[in-house]
Structure 1
Amino acid sequence: MTAIPKNPRILIIDPTDNPALKAGLQRHYGMMVNQQTSGRAALELLRRVKPDLIVLNAHLSDLPAATLLAEINAQKLAVPIILVGGNGETTRANFDDKKIVGWLNQPFEPVELAALIQSALERPWPNSDLVLTKRAELIEANQQLTNRIQQMQTLAEIGQSVTSQLELEEVLRRVAKAAVSLTHADESYLLLVDEASGNLYLRAEANLGEEEVKNFWVKVSDSIAGQVVQTGEPVTISRDSNNLKVKTGLVVYALINVPVKVGQKVIGVLGVDNRTQHRTFSPEDQMLLSALADWAAIAIQNARLYAATSDLSRDLELVNEVSRLVSSTLDVEQIPRLLVKHTAEIIGAECGSLALLDKERGGVVFQLAYDGEGNELTSLRNFIMPLGEGIVGLVAQTGLPHIVNNVQSDPGWSPVADRLTGFVTHKIIAVPLIAEGEVVGVMELLNKKEGNFDQGDLQLLSLVAAAAAGAIQNARQYDALQKTNEALQRAQEQRIAAERWAVLGKAAGSLAHRINNTTTLVPIAVQHLRELLQPVNLPPELRQEIEANLERIERNTRYTVDLAVALLRRFRQHPAKAHNVNELIKRAISLVEIPKNIKLVCHLDPKLPPVDISDLLVDALIELISNALRVMEAEGGVLRIASFKAGSGIAIQVTDSGPGIAAENLDQVFDLFFTTYPQGLGFGLWWVKTFLEQQHGQITVESRPNEGTTFTITLPGSPAVSPG
């Protein structure tokens, strides 16, 4: 018996071409395989080339197997034959050929055929031209077989250990450690392909030094490992005399790099090398490392699927939680607060915002925005982005989602929001909020913390957006019902206000008349008293005290007369006529002195329609402006006055940056005689509200502690005048 040839030549005669079988025998067992699908072609080949073993299918299409065996015998070829497709001893008896040393039933695994081939080549058989060898060769062959079995057992145990782990980093660590154990190498490394750059990055190693591990990566286009990625074939290199320096900078004596494949796709490279050992690697080492790489590919894929499934499960739980939160409220103001922060956490973004469509104003209005620290960007609240402008305006206009991972290269991006807030945007993902087939808003997230926004993020954000859109629609419908009820209530209040205004007007007129009648003689009496006291000799101190009292009487009398005039003016029936509201605002501002430590900012829409209203609106605006200036006079601040279209009418806003109104006082600010100002009478805001209701308008107040207060006056527009 001789030792098995290092690379035995195997002839497979089978009507079915099987590239996978051929590749497996070549790759894992180092066999040189020639495959023929025709019996006659095989006979022609046998006249020129003698194989070490023939694998013969018992059912050839062009030539009976028995005829082929007879032709082989006629050529006196002493070649062992393994019969495929037969049925044990019965088949062997049918063919009655001593050259048949083994048989396999179909289907079979490549490893079964490989084991049978190795067994057939290791033992003598009748009519063979092989001779018995020395006992030492037999012992060596048996030892090799024992080693191979041990290697296979070890490989199976390692494969079970690797594939049983679902944490990716642990899988990679075990693979690297097993590579050293199987091949007895000095060190090992596992490189995975980075999808973004295409380069190979070190993900696990065994026995590499700290310096080698640091920033370990190689280019696919210019490295041994890159060659493995590109060809999908293993590479074994050794230098018997000179050291080998690879592209990573490592100087090694020998190395093996094998591909890690998922299907036909190479996802990485598993490598071992010898730096201290002057030992080359054998084909068996390459075979074992390739088998380990196959196990590694399965384990990596399983770990990635597990991680993706876990992430998806977590994300879906968060999506459900967000959906539950936004669906549990009918307050449109609360939905953005509940939505944005939770969604940014799901996607892994720094921050986000939510804007709702305002068709009348032709844009999307930002309801809420957060920066990277979780702080609300108040400067962006109520900011309008026109339809079609910026990513958010584009999504609102088209109803299509948008992903931009480099805003500087996207022509649709607008830097306006960054300029307003000071935030720096790099990446954006934005999706429309669609309810009942219509876009109602846009939700966007900014600057993903790890990697770029992708389709998975888009799917999750779309799920959240769908829930949010439904919740916003429900909240808006509820809000519409509330507004209808409020409108009915306001109509009732306006009727009562008109009646009350008429009564108060009469009472004010009567009271002013009486005050005028009763106070007219007071200044005359004071002057007469002065004349009577003039010739009287009085001590200087007493005369001064008397004069001071007389002046006090005159001053209080004038104040009472002025109060009566103001009272009469504010309740007199001033006819309403079409006014340019901006002109009334400017008149009110001109009648108030603005302190130097307060900055006045006006945003007056020049295209406002005229409004039918009494010019007492000037008095109402003076009241609001004076109150705003008073709360800011100590610390200074900003007074903002704005006018803009509001539906078919117009709105006027007076906003201060003062300390704000306490929450418990907001519901009382328009009550008669309610005041928090020591010198106040609690008359001004009550009169403003009463006047506006009498003019079919309304006033509301919003205030946040330490942020300021906004009073909003809403007035109906003048009815259109039809021509002719």
Structure 2
Amino acid sequence: MANENVLLVTKDPEIGNQLNLLSPTEYTFTFVRDTESALSLVHSQEFEVVIVENSDNSESVFTIIEVLRSFNPTTYVILINVGSDLDFVHRSIRKGVSDFLIPPITSDQILDAVRVGITRKNNLLQWMKKQPFSTSVSTPVGRKIKELESLGRSVTASLDIDHIFTVVVDAAVKLTNAEEGSLLILDEDSGELQMRAARNFQEEFVRTFRLPIKNTLAGEVIRRGIPITINEKTPQKIKTMYLVRALLYVPLKIQGRVIGVLGVDNRESSQSFTKEQLSLVSTLADYAATAIENARLYRNTEVERQKLDSILTQIEDGVIVTDNDYRIVLVNRTAKNMFNLNEKEVIGKPLEDVFQHEVLTSIFTTKHDELPFRSEIELEDGYILNTHLVEIPEVGLAATMQDISYFRELDRIKSEFVNTVSHDLRSPLTAILGYVELITKVGEVNEQQRAFIKRVQISVRYITDLINDLLELGRIEAGFDTRREHVPLDVIVKYAIDDVKNQIGDYEHTISLEIKHDVPDVVGDPIRLRQVVDNLLSNAVRYTPNGGQIMVRLKHEGSQVILQVEDSGVGIPYVDQSYIFDRFYRGGNVPENVPGSGLGLAIVKSIVESHQGRVWVESRPGEGSCFTVVLPVPGS
């Protein structure tokens, strides 16, 4: 059999790629992104199924549907319904939409909808070919077909499952001129059939009726998945607790699975049901099964969505989710309050139309080298948000935001306190060191006294170095270092290595330098950048056992200059690597005889970030560490 033609009008090419991979021979898919291309194809080629994505409630969707209906009224039209209001859905039904898909959707769901549409269309066409009479709307049969098509569109577009049950039963009775109608749904928990809707039955009977599958005609339909008819003149009791003269049962099927039975019957009249009526009710049952499954999926989705909304409403973090075209999928109440959105409707709208904040929109729209991506957003009222962007497969992007303004204020107060105390301590420490050095000049001291004096001097110098580091860190984080010029980083690295080689003394390390050709200048403060290199080299020397290897690399890749300092030292435990750039933090495996304040790497991180760069470490305990600094090239 030749491939069935399916037209998919969507802005998301990934859906098309996935469909072709899943079903390379079953259907022939044609993909277009805009209305003009779709209309051109519809005029020149016949499609069994057309799937249209409605991303912005555009009138162009109706244009496509109207043209399709004018060329081939039997084309099965599926609307991917994104954020549409109820009025738009009703208009879609009147225009001729046969089925709806509600995002987020998978390729398998699209394929299932296509199969249902093609099956339904083929069944209707085959039945029409068998009729010896005209199917014009001027004939009774033609009017029933037209009525069935309209009913099908109405039923599949509804998401109210009880309404679907009632409409389907009423339509079955009307199409067959039957006296009664019923719709039985299989209860998977009890294994019984439950009457969910009926026509011309007593209400109490409908509410309490239960039917076992075993030894019943309806159960036979469930088990075999084929229609059953009874056309006897003698009334028959059919395990339904009522007598009938004529009966028609057809299965409700979803993906080969029978979920219920649609039935019509005559108690008083002996009028039998014809093959034409069987075909009409079978087609109606197909519509009903699709509508029931859609409604069930929608109800389940809504239940899960309400749970999610309840969770997202209660949490204090702001949450924003967009699709791959940066259209809003979800914004929780906290995020709305953060950006003063009040309660206005934002679902389905472009991100840049909703959020008038350049930094936020750029976090979403910029192609990041890797995800998750972290950044900070400062609001107009001074609040600072820590933002974490992640990718959600088959949905898009999600950002969570925490208000860290309070912690920033605490950090500012702490920094001010440290700076104040550090300044106040420098004078007495200088006095202590000066007077200690004078002791040996005013008289003789014995060896024990000389040792005590040396200990005092070492301690005072250690505290002085610590205070100097704290003050340096405070100036960097406060943004006082605004000096910027073109800096040849290769020259700075060479000078730093020369100085270290003159100072390593008894360490007996081997220091190697590898610089790629044509490393461009970076823009920054040469003193601070030299401090970065010095601190990294100093750590490598101190934490590498005697006779170790230290390798320094400098290279240019794309729009970045990359500096790496690698050693063969003690390494950093995995549990410590996330905190190694924090103030005063030292690894748990640092030897006791290795001095350090725990501020060197914190200073490195602050300097690098103030130059719009990044720094990280890769390390294995016992094998050494490699620190990588990435700085942007001017104009990149």
After TM superposition, the score normalised by the length of structure 1 is 0.28
Higher-Rg member (1/2): 1
